[in-house]
Amino acid sequence: MKVIVRRSCLINYKIVSVHTTEVKIYAKKNIWISGVTGFTGRYLAEFIKRNSPNCNVVGLGRSSSPGVAALDEYYQSDLATDAIENSLASLAPPDIVFHLAAVLPPKSDSLMWQVNVGGTLRLIKFLASFNKPGIRFVNIGSVAEYLVKADGYYTETDPSGGMTTYGQSKWAQSEVAFRAGREWGVSIISTRTFNLIGVGLPAKYLTATICQQFADPAITQLKLGDIRAVRDFVDVDDAVRAYWELALKGIPGEMYNVCSGVETTIEDLITISGNITDRKLAVVSEESRFRREDVNRVYGDNNKINTLVGWKPQISLEQALSKVIKAERSTQLVSPAIL
């Protein structure tokens, strides 16, 4: 794999394999993944190389090296600056772009706007400079873009705008992407992705915290916020399969929920994790962990993507949690520290 940084050094990586549902295609395509060094990026790169090995997969990220095996090329590029024209100047134009790059809390509000909105606009503008018709750009958005709804059940036509700075910046990102795509001739397909689960999810996310604590035999008590809150969880392997299907078949200018359509309480996560590990931990709901901006009930409608491309989750919540807990236990056998 060729890795391009500002000093143009070369690094080789071994390709790894992860087992998920296969979606074979045979046409060779040039594919870019922005934000490839993040949680979802490596899953997406591995999925593409496993199911379409002839594709040239190019990763874009801020790190000097990707740590992602399933890439043919990697370019260091910071979408927060205007220098992407220089860092990406040598690339061949893509057929498909998966735009995963984003800034999340606790990063500053100004950086979220700079990267999530400004960076998206810079990237689409750069793509337009190739003057290549038919570039397909999958903009990965968030459930946080929706406004509060009484029943908590969201379809793509429900009011959006975001309730937090992050949600507002992601909503603006989607709006800017659609408008820029129409103006500059780039085909934009956008998602609103709900809560992901998978090995490697950062510890700041609730599912990762719960799995880590159940995997650690020294822990006897869970300290959480509102365990009655309802969320919609999707395994990351299912999510990247949805992104790929949308890249091939999604309708430009359209938004798609990537969700299970199933209501799951935090208490359900605890119960399932307890059954997997055969452990029962005392649960303490601490008021300090309740966040003012949290919405009590959020789950989605996936009929639109299901009708268009036949996508629906294939990995159950139990299977998803089992994978994470197994990985956490393996980590703890190597080191007593919980990462």
72-92: pLDDT as tens digits: 999 998 888 867 878 898 899
Here the CATH number for the domain that contains residue 285 is 3.90.25.10
Co-location of 15 and 163 in the same domain: yes
Q: Is the pLDDT of residue 18 over 50?
A: no
Q: Is the pLDDT of residue 289 over 70?
A: no
| Tokens found for residue 255 | 């938004």
With vertex at residue 253, the alpha carbon angle to CA 252 and CA 255, rounded to the nearest 5 degrees, is 105
Three-state helix/strand/coil letters over 108-125 = CHHHHHHHHHHHHHHHHH
Co-location of 148 and 239 in the same domain: yes
Co-location of 53 and 131 in the same domain: yes
Q: What is the pLDDT at residue 288?
A: 55
Co-location of 87 and 11 in the same domain: yes
Indicate whether 298 belongs to any domain. no
Co-location of 39 and 170 in the same domain: yes
Taking the C-alpha atoms of residue 327 and residue 207, their distance in angstroms, rounded to an integer, is 13
Taking the C-alpha atoms of residue 297 and residue 265, their distance in angstroms, rounded to an integer, is 9
Q: Spell out the long-range contacts of 42-46 with Cβ–Cβ below 8 A and sequence spacing 24 or more.
A: 42/67, 42/68, 42/69, 42/70, 42/200, 43/18, 43/198, 43/236, 43/237, 43/239, 43/240, 44/98, 44/100, 44/240, 44/243, 44/244, 45/70, 45/71, 46/16, 46/17, 46/18, 46/70
The arithmetic mean of pLDDT across residues 292-306, rounded, is 86
Q: Is the pLDDT of residue 208 over 70?
A: yes
Q: What is the pLDDT at residue 332?
A: 66
Indicate whether 307 belongs to any domain. no
Co-location of 189 and 270 in the same domain: no
DSSP 260: -
Q: Is the pLDDT of residue 324 over 70?
A: yes
Co-location of 48 and 112 in the same domain: yes
Indicate whether 299 belongs to any domain. no
Residues in the chain: 339
Indicate whether 284 belongs to any domain. yes
Q: What is the pLDDT at residue 330?
A: 87
Co-location of 151 and 34 in the same domain: yes
Taking the C-alpha atoms of residue 272 and residue 219, their distance in angstroms, rounded to an integer, is 17
Helix 317-334 with 266-277: angle, nearest 10 deg: 60
Task: Centre a 10 Å sphere on the Cβ of residue 308 and count the other Cβ atoms it contains.
Answer: 15
| pTM for this prediction | 0.89
Co-location of 221 and 165 in the same domain: no
Residue 188 belongs to domain spanning: 2-20+29-196+233-258
Q: What is the pLDDT at residue 128?
A: 96
Co-location of 224 and 321 in the same domain: yes
Co-location of 322 and 219 in the same domain: yes
Measuring CA to CA, how many Å separate 7 from each of 4, 64, 90? 8, 10, 14
**Amino acid code (one letter) for 241:** R
Q: Is the pLDDT of residue 211 over 50?
A: yes
Indicate whether 300 belongs to any domain. no
Helix 120-128 with 165-184: angle, nearest 10 deg: 10
Co-location of 219 and 272 in the same domain: yes
Here the CATH number for the domain that contains residue 162 is 3.40.50.720
- Banded model confidence at residue 13, pLDDT cuts 50, 70, 90: very low
Q: Is the pLDDT of residue 327 over 70?
A: yes
Q: What is the pLDDT at residue 291?
A: 54
CA-closest candidate to residue 202, choices 283, 322, 105, 290: 105
Mean pLDDT of the chain: 88
Indicate whether 339 belongs to any domain. no
Dihedral of alpha carbons 201, 207, 211, 212, sign: positive
Indicate whether 189 belongs to any domain. yes
Indicate whether 302 belongs to any domain. no
Domain count, the chain: 2
| Tokens found for residue 289 | 């962990």
